Amino acid sequence: MMDAGRHPRIKVLVSSEVVDVSGAVGNFRVKVRRKARFVREDLCNSCAECAKVCPVIVPDEYQMGLGSRKAIHIPFPQAVPSAYLINLDDCLGNNPIACGKCQTVCEKKCIDFDMGDELVELQVGAVIVATGMDVYDPTEITAYGYGRYENVITSMEFERLICAGGPSSGHFVRPSDRTRPRRIGFIQCVGSRSSRYGSPYCSNICCMNTIKDTLLLADHYPDVEARVFYMDIRAFGKGFEDLYLRSRAAGVRYIRGIPGEIEELPEGRNLRVRVENTLTGELEEHELDLVVLSVGVVPREQSSAIQRLLSLSRGGDGFFLEAHPKLKPVDAPTRGIYLAGCCESPKDVKDSVTQAGAAASHVQILLNAGRIRIEAGTPKLEPHDCIRCGRCAGVCPFHAIRWQREQVPEIVEAACAGCGNCAAECPVGAIRMRHFTDEQLKAQIDAILAEDRAEKLLTFACNWCSYAGGDTAGTARLQFPAHGRIVRTMCSARVSEELILYAFEKGAPLVLVSGCHFADCHYINANRQTVRRVERVWDRLEKLGIRPERLQLEWISAAEGAKFAEVMHALDGPRRAVTLEEIEHTCRVLAQDREEREERQRKQREAARRKYAAGVPAAAAPGSGA
């Protein structure tokens, strides 16, 4: 951090919060609130005289609450900048009657209680998200007694106790009586790989962190007995297995089984751990001086706010999703935004540094290019057909459409990813998707249903998931009925109500709309709009006397070739159940309904043209961008 703080081309904004991000790739405008430190960092020389006279003593967050700090303090060693700050939540204030001692003793006169927050505006070409992760709080696991038993601590607290700069100045002691523990137990997977507490995923770093800690104990305190209670040891990285074998050779005992209960003994405050050893099948009891809970990691609490600011996607585990797990592992779905470190998934230092280097390289490639390539399938707005309702701007997951009330929307092509959500949402067809126009998609539907239409299952498939799932089924040579005919779209959100009804009008016995799972949408959350539109079509079909079950909705990922085949098998029966008479009836009803819809759209466009006869503002010309 010191090197970063001294670098002439790196500006470090500490105690700061991003409050707004606008613009697009190459031209982001970022608003940052710099919180007041109440100490002028350019004058402070870290003499510590202020901290000596400060009467307020509170738990030190850096020492995990095992040590203390003053209200005026340096957050941690080698903090950048190397200057004190005041936490007003702890400070008594500058009223001489209350306190103000730090201000009195400061020779540099760098303490300013009138200092306020500052709003900084930055213009940047790219953004790297490296917000890290949080540690699981094991308090909810009452059987382990964390928070009730002083000698039950977390792995983070253990790190501070054994550190030379920790609260005990490098003397390894247990919290209850400050004596050196002789028997230590490590419990793995606390808050990880559990459907009851914490998270169902593996936190990646816990096993090797425990192995490292046992080696430290073996090197510095050879008389300490260490026991590790584990579910599975996952030592998969380079050199990890060697460390694991060294730990066992050093005398660390590994017991395969997760304890069900920890009990504090009244005499000496030692701990009794009960565990079933799954290798021997026996129930064992261990008396220990100290128990360390190897806690897992969880997404940051602020992830939701960051997701909204940057239009990011999050997986089912709460971590940010990359654009593609193999081809774009550091790119976010929003162009110009990249991911690094544990905000994307739990990982160790080596993997975090590797991903950070990759993200920095991608940013340099982008900024050095001077120009960027936009998606070919971007929307084109016909301003004279637009009724200025703003619905397109409301559904764009990338905020690539700017709209003000009673104004023609402006499409920022640099920010657009080409999902087609806006075109499907437009009630009057004023937005055309290049290369995926309504006319092109309808031509495919016409060709599919030109012959033997009763034998066809017309399927709208998302390019990234369900279409690729069909490819996976084919390359795996899975057997399924050959009645499926696919119309490929970039996203299931491109499938408008108009296209679905057109397919039924042309004689489709069954229509399947398929796309990505909710957590895997390539376009952040565009497939939520797919659900909304399909539900509206179901209601409309029912009102028109057409069986709504003839329209099906399925989520199929690129890897789920087997599911694609299952869906094709499952829909073969419903397709066969649709009679020719039912198809003919559907065609007649929907032909009449289409004429009524087209008449309503024509009237809407004409009404809008009369209302806005003064003309379209020049700033909202079609195809305008950043």
Helix, strand, coil shares of the chain, percent, nearest 5, are 35, 20, 45
- Confidence category of residue 95, pLDDT binned at 50, 70, 90: low
For 299-335, give one letter per residue: b (16+ CB within 10 A) or e: bbeebeebbebbbbbbbeebbbbbbeeeeebbbbbbb
Which ranges in the chain are annotated with CATH 3.50.50.60?
A: 134-298
Length of the chain: 626
Measure the CA–CA gap between 510 and 548, rounded to whole angstroms. Answer: 10
27 Cβ partners below 8 Å, 6+ apart? 123, 125, 414, 626
Contact by Cβ (8 Å): 395, 419: no
Summarised one tens digit per residue, pLDDT across range 223-269 is 999 999 999 999 989 999 999 999 999 999 999 999 999 999 988 89
Which ranges in the chain are annotated with CATH 3.40.50?
A: 436-596
Measure the CA–CA gap between 464 and 558, rounded to whole angstroms. Answer: 7
pLDDT at 520: 79
pLDDT at 618: 38
Measure the CA–CA gap between 361 and 343, rounded to whole angstroms. Answer: 18
**Bridge-partner residues for 402, per DSSP?**
410
> Which superfamily does 134-298 belong to?
FAD/NAD(P)-binding domain (3.50.50.60)
CB-neighbour burial class of residue 478 (10 A; exposed 0-12, middle 13-18, buried 19+):
middle
- Confidence category of residue 490, pLDDT binned at 50, 70, 90: very high
Measure the CA–CA gap between 212 and 158, rounded to whole angstroms. Answer: 12
Predicted TM-score (pTM) of this structure: 0.81
Measured CA distances, 35 to 39, 86, 178, 284 (Å): 11, 11, 38, 53
pLDDT at 3: 82
Largest CA distance in the chain: 95
Selection from 183, 398, 144 nearest residue 294 by Cα: 144
Classified by CATH at the fold level, domain 436-596 comes out as Rossmann fold (3.40.50)
pLDDT at 395: 95
Of residues 1 and 206, the one with the higher pLDDT is 206
Measure the CA–CA gap between 301 and 298, rounded to whole angstroms. Answer: 9
Measure the CA–CA gap between 466 and 553, rounded to whole angstroms. Answer: 11
Residue 497 has pLDDT above 90, yes or no: yes
Amino acid present at 306: I
